[in-house]
Chain A
């Protein structure tokens, strides 16, 4: 986490973007588009996954994308396959993919969900999550929750709760409070809420 914070400070976005526009090492570098095209077999054409569990990455905030990829690359984030794939890219390539996906429109598909649970989840989201995951969890300053594939959200929460992924203190406090209020159904309810959006 320390490394990620330092990286954020060192990377003003204007500069980050200019690197993409005027790549100094253009001579032997696949474009962000070419790199991003290779992701489609699992994450869908232009990053909109058709499911059932690999996450959509279209429309992601570049900072969130870079954090995720660096986290996988350095084995700081639990994964099945992404840690192996992320190691194939350097910082410039990760940045250029981030900007490619940021520009793509997220296309969502309906998912089977429990309406009652989704209703409870909506309430919990508003109370505990909305402050950071704005607009019901739409892509923004935090990871995409709204319309995200439910099994992926389930795996992610399992990893946070079971200590396999660095759990931000503020998030832990909020999730714990939601569990305090609604018990074991709190997390599934929120997942049903996110899955209900499309």
Chain B
């Protein structure tokens, strides 16, 4: 920088900025925010509330002692990483001054502006953030329920079921068959089932080269389909007779209606399929606490997308997968982005000013092989008149088709950076 000294300018800018700042309205000295749910949305909001407005008294309530990320959990299935490497405690949030309470919340009480935990503690709030993630619709596939899921895992929450599924793949016979039952839209992590197929194939290619992975899908198309198809072809022979991966969409009879766990047989629309390992990812809806707290309309929680305040209850904010945030996908990066918008809006409210104009990004990587990564990205703006988050035209999109091996390899290393930085930004 040559025209003027940069550091002098920054000094000037900072001083001028401060004197132009909005007047701080006298509210309660330490406004109270209660965050229900310690996933990406809840953690990011808690951290950024403290960062933007350090006098905020933030309490985060979560049922589990540790956070296990769903993003990168498919890499545990291939053996490329351990479950430990995607397990994190909440000490980092505590260092930011967030009070972390391990307890269960059945429902919040918007009328009393309080949250009572199962352990009997009561937390009053000025603003409550509900970020419970997704829950399953257990009645969608006959014969499949929470109990059966212990042996026919969904592994759609990272944790014990991830280990179960990994061990079942390891124990499977040489020429065994893994069946993945993909869910209907909308669900969290749209490319997840297809990345999972690739990660399982990545393991089998080295250890059980005769194995097959069959995806049964109630949809006719899926996220990053062209890129997955190309990557599967290149790495796992997709489209050939010897393909390790096979995909059956809705038109081909991919919709699964019933499971018989005793024979490991799935009844799909047209025919039956038998597998050595079955992974059913059930249809999804907002987490339990959202239903119990009257925050849903249908399966998801409607919100004002300027602030992520619930359309149903004042001073309650719903973030992440549970919110109805079209056209953003239900992804970790989206939840992280939404949480910062909500945190800024809540702080504005404490300061008695209008919420700032929001901006959002989503970035999502999938790893198909040791050196084969692909991504999708979008930059979003809010169309206030329709309360819709719209992707900015001409920006974002998918990794190019036919990219060089070098580009695909770099995307794997950027995927690992995305994982590390997302975890760091939300809770460290």
Contact = CB atoms under 8 A, between A and B. Distances in A.
A54 B414 contact: yes
Nearest to A86: B395
Contacts of A13: 1, 3-4, 6, 9
B323 to A, nearest CB: 17
A38 B17 contact: no
B75 interface: no
Given A50-B420, A50-B421, A88 B3 contact: no
Contact of A39 (B13, B361, B420): B361
Contacts of B392: 87-88
Interface string A30-51: 1100110111111111000111
Interface in A70-93: 80-81, 84-89
B377 A84 contact: yes
Contacts, number: 143
A99 B13 contact: yes
B167 interface: no
Interface string A141-153: 1000000010100
12 contacts: A14-B3, A17-B12, A30-B357, A31-B357, A42-B414, A44-B424, A54-B417, A63-B1, A81-B375, A84-B396, A85-B395, A88-B392
A86 B361 CA distance: 11
B424 A45 contact: yes
A86 to B, nearest CB: 8
A72 to B, nearest CB: 11
B379 interface: yes
Nearest to B397: A84
A103 interface: yes
A35 B411 CA distance: 23
B340 A34 contact: yes
A49 B417 CA distance: 8
Contacts of A110: none
Contacts of B413: 52-53, 151
B399 A80 contact: yes
Contacts of B379: 38, 85, 87-89
Contacts of A88: 361, 378-379, 392, 395-396
B356 interface: yes
A80 B414 contact: yes
Contacts of A44: 421, 424-425
A34 B407 contact: no
Give the top 5 A-B pairs by smallest Cβ distance, nearest first. A88-B379, A88-B395, A54-B417, A30-B359, A87-B395
B3 A41 contact: no
A28 B357 contact: yes
A29 interface: yes
Given A30-B358, A62-B6, A87-B394, A38 B340 contact: yes
B10 interface: yes
Contacts of A45: 424-425
Interface of B: 1-4, 6, 9-10, 12-14, 16-17, 20, 48, 332-333, 336-337, 340-341, 344, 356-361, 363, 375, 377-379, 392, 394-397, 399, 406-407, 410-411, 413-414, 416-418, 420-422, 424-425, 428
A141 B3 contact: no
B356 A31 contact: yes
Contact of B417 (A20, A34, A53): A53
Contact of B13 (A20, A34, A40, A86): A20
A164 B340 CA distance: 36
A111 B3 CA distance: 35
B244 to A, nearest CB: 26
B416 A30 contact: no
B340 A37 contact: yes
A163 interface: no
Contacts of B1: 13, 61-63, 141
A167 interface: no
Most buried by B among A29, A45, A62: A45
A41 B357 contact: no
B183 to A, nearest CB: 24
B394 A34 contact: no
A91 to B, nearest CB: 14
B421 A43 contact: yes
Contacts of B17: 21
Given A84-B396, A99-B13, A30 B356 contact: yes
Contact of A14 (B4, B394, B397, B421): B4
A35 B358 CA distance: 8
Interface in A93-118: 99, 102-103
Contacts of B4: 13-14
Contacts of B363: 41-42, 81, 85
A12 B361 CA distance: 30
Interface in A152-181: 155, 158
A126 to B, nearest CB: 23
B50 to A, nearest CB: 12
A40 B425 contact: yes
Nearest to A35: B359
